[in-house]
Chain A
Amino acid sequence: QLVESGGGVVQPGRSLRLSCAASGFPFSSFAMHWVRQAPGKGLDWVTLISYDASNKYYADSVRGRFTISRDNSENMLFLQMNSLRPEDTAVYYCAREDADYLDLWGQGTLVTVSS
């Protein structure tokens, strides 16, 4: 399973770090993603990290502000979010990739960017 944590209320311009704890599967063998859902909106892909962290991809809307990372020894995925904007307000989901589709998702953690 996947369990996200680290969400909360943060002021615009500040930072937040999300975590995703993986269990029940060989975490180090899978690429991982973050996907978000703004209030009342649909799903929006954010970023991907390969199984060994050698490759990372970002949506244009977060490139340069967000950084994805992982610790395979601890079965953990992270999302460092800097320079947060009100439009980053969303539920953030971590998801496991199987051949580019997402076959396992967490329940999400809510990030609210507001002054």
Chain B
Amino acid sequence: DIQMTQSPSTLSASVGDRITITCRASQTIRSWLAWYQHKPGIAPKLLIYEASTLQSGVPSRFSGSGSGTEFTLTISSLQPDDFGTYYCQQYHTYPLTFGGGTKVAIK
């Protein structure tokens, strides 16, 4: 199975800050990577697919980059609604695998 490793596991930042979350795959997944936002009690939300394509309706402050084994999710200006846990997921090979998550808190 392809292992996905996210860092950091937790992050606390202020409104307006630029934050970056890193995701590493144990082997190349080309650009077959998605990012999700998950808040307690709410359905997970797709933010980005194919490493850098913004899902329709997702604010442009979210962006993704990378290919191969190294990927990043960036929020250019953190907003109060951006709290939650962010997960990367590879879809290069089954079984689909997720990173361990990055919990983002607003200071």
Chain A 75-115: CB-based contact to B (< 8 A → 1; otherwise 0): 00000000000000000010100111111111110000000
Contact-size category for A: 20 to 34
Known: A42-B87, A43-B89, A44-B98. A105 touches B55 (CB 8 A): no
Chain A 10-40: CB-based contact to B (< 8 A → 1; otherwise 0): 0000000000000000000000010000000
**Interface residue? B83 (CB, 8 A):** no
Chain B 79-98: CB-based contact to A (< 8 A → 1; otherwise 0): 00000010101010011111
What are the residues of chain B within 8 A of A95 when measuring CB–CB? 44
What are the residues of chain B within 8 A of A106 when measuring CB–CB? 43
What are the residues of chain B within 8 A of A59 when measuring CB–CB? 95
What are the residues of chain B within 8 A of A99 when measuring CB–CB? 49
A2, A42, A102: the one within 8 Å of B34 (CB): A102
Contact present for A45 and B43 (CB under 8 Å): no
In the complex, residue of chain B having the shortest beta-carbon distance to the beta carbon of A33: B96
Known: A100-B32, A101-B89, A103-B46. A45 touches B98 (CB 8 A): yes
Q: Could you list 9 further interchain pairs (A-B, Cβ under 8 angstroms) beyond the known A43-B38, A45-B95?
A: A2-B43, A44-B98, A101-B46, A101-B49, A101-B91, A102-B34, A102-B36, A105-B44, A106-B43
